[in-house]
Structure 1
Amino acid sequence: MSSVSRKRAAASSVVIGPNSTKRRKVETSSTVIVATVVEESCQSILPDMKAIIESLECDTMGDSWRTALEEEFTKPYFQELKDFLIAEHKAYAVYPKLNDIYSWSRLTPLDSVKVVILGQDPYHNVGQAHGLSFSVLPPTKLPGSLKNIYKQLLNDIPAFKLPTSGDLTPLAKAGVLWLNTCLTVRAHNANSHAKKGWETFTDAVIRTVLDRPDGRGVVFFAWGLPAQKVFKRLEIDEEKHLVLRSAHPSPLSAHRGFLGNGHFKKANEWLQKKHEEEIDWTVLGSIPAEDADTSSSSASILMT
């Protein structure tokens, strides 16, 4: 390809931002090329990934959490984490998308947290992770762990209706903090962002819940050994808070203590006794459990 042809190809492939560029036609002897003229106010056509990631907390984190965690953002480990994320985004696909990394903070403000359910790292395949532990957006099929969570909800909560998707957003808005210990992951590479700084940050998130000014107790679900180690390390006061421990809901371990653990029922009983409130777990459902076998969209959701 000649240098002129390469220039034409480059010009035709540029993505134009509607607020930062304008177009004009340039006549040549053989073709008409749509050329992009970048306005002086725009330094680059492509997004500045470094700037986006550096300002991520300011731009996407919920106000209550950003205020409570602002000291973390200036610590050396957090800047090292940012540098790592910038390098990862330049070289690989990373999940969840940048705007969703802190979605938990926008959906569950600090003063609304009643329950904390701790996961590990985000799902690492396309269209799965969106910033809440265990949750997936439709039309993504339910992961095995979430199927078992739904099974236990059906067992614990008589009024619970089987959901038709894996989106846990309604429960996040109801006071359940679905938090992973690691908030990002490289595509198709589980635990690839572990021990890069996220665990230190999410420890700070949990401490922020423990140290809330209102002094209210919270229920912590410790599913699996990694979550149990986190809560043990943080030395949670179990006279003030409730820690519910069991096996992880993964298909590999659910039958070794997760299924039948009664955690959702126990959480509500404790919340009712302590604070005269509970989580409305039924906000997820759309089809009555007793009718689930009549709908292909819901009957197979726990079977596929």
Structure 2
Amino acid sequence: MHDSWLSVLKDDLVTNEFLGLKRFLRAEKEAGKKVYPPEGDVYSWSRYTPVSAVKVVILGQDPYHGANQAHGLSFSVRPPTRAPPSLKNMYIALKKDYPDFTPPAENLGLLTPWAERGVLLLNACLTVRASEPNSHASKGWERLTQKVIDVIAARKGVVFLAWGKPAEKRVAKIDRRKHAVLLSVHPSPLSASRGFFDCGHFRKANEWLVERYGEGAEIDWSLKPVVQVVRAVEKGPAAKKKKVEEKEKEKEEEEDVDGERELLERDNREISRVKKKTRARDSLGEVFDEDEEAAMIEATLAAEGALES
């Protein structure tokens, strides 16, 4: 857990309820149960978005319970996993708010760029048993994550995006005079067609941030990869000197990257690549049978066309 969050949550981490949660998780591990996300990612939301950096909060419910999906950020999935249905619907809503928005290549779903820009991607429960949605509900996580919400609510004004009834209940006591609280149905294919696509939350969040804090306070919702510029070929002694300097600089940058990579690998030492492909599941952790999947596809077919236009 990031130090900024640890400092405000430390008292909650030694309560009898939280210690009971830790015992439960230990028992799961000793019983050979597969739990997601990997241990190194349970608190990744805190590391990507420190307390002082929070501008927007997007509330989720249960972590994804399939292999190579959950990594500690609500709605986000690690490559090479493609965006699950709820996240695809978020892309559609974003496209309506910002027509120049382009989903990630190969329809991937890694949302770490948002988290690094001040979007706290927080689930109500921080762990789940593999293939068993809500298996870690009411074990103690909800109290801790509610405290996270309360800590944010006590600080400067931010935007809360609460999608679905469970998320709506979690922000019920937030001061609307201080914060922006935007409510909508969940982006799940089972409910998105009832108003999510046209809720305008991504644009409304930015409009509120700019009105409150001025230009530059808005969130860049893009998920485009960094574009590298190819330089023109230069010749002569000056070019050779410049090339040597560039190589030295590249070596220094590589050393920095190696150092950062080593730290990241240490933080995520429990993470292993899982090649087994699993069926897509929505953010609420629901598993759909074939009939439900057919209905789900039919319900969102028209909306998905917006991404291709």
> Normalising by structure 1, what TM-score?
0.72
Q: Which has the larger radius of gyration?
A: 1
Residue 281 of structure 1: SS of its match in structure 2? coil
**Counterparts of 1:1-304 in structure 2 under 5 Å?**
61-91=1-31, 92-164=33-105, 165-212=108-155, 216-232=156-172, 235-276=173-214, 277-282=217-222, 284-286=223-225
Determine the C-alpha separation between the residues in 2 that align with 1:158 and 1:147. Answer: 15
Q: Are the aligned partners of 1:162 and 1:286 in contact in 2 as well (CA < 8 Å)? A: no
Q: How far apart are 1:285 and its partner, in Å?
A: 2.3
Q: 1:160 to 1:241 in 2, by over 3 A?
A: same
Letter in 2 for 1:94: V
**Alpha-carbon RMSD:** 1.9
Residue 117 of structure 1: SS of its match in structure 2? strand
Determine the C-alpha separation between the residues in 1 that align with 2:82 and 2:159. Answer: 28
Letter in 2 for 1:178: L
Indicate the percent of aligned positions where both proteins have the same amino acid: 57
Greater share of helix: 2
Letter in 1 for 2:3: D
Q: 1:302 to 1:144 in 2, by over 3 A?
A: farther
Q: Are the aligned partners of 1:147 and 1:301 in contact in 2 as well (CA < 8 Å)? A: no
**Runs (5+) with no aligned partner, structure 1:** 1-60, 288-298
Q: Are the aligned partners of 2:95 and 2:307 in contact in 1 as well (CA < 8 Å)? A: no
CA deviation map 1:221-250 (0-9, x unaligned): 010011001111xx1000000010010000
Letter in 2 for 1:211: A
Determine the C-alpha separation between the residues in 1 that align with 2:306 and 2:85. Answer: 10
Letter in 2 for 1:201: L
**Runs (5+) with no aligned partner, structure 2:** 227-303
Residue 71 of structure 1: SS of its match in structure 2? helix
Letter in 1 for 2:182: L
Letter in 1 for 2:117: A
CA deviation map 1:18-45 (0-9, x unaligned): xxxxxxxxxxxxxxxxxxxxxxxxxxxx
Greater share of strand: 1
Q: How far apart are 1:63 and its partner, in Å?
A: 1.0
Determine the C-alpha separation between the residues in 2 that align with 1:161 and 1:143. Answer: 16
> Normalising by structure 2, what TM-score?
0.71
Letter in 1 for 2:12: E
Determine the C-alpha separation between the residues in 1 that align with 2:185 and 2:225. Answer: 28
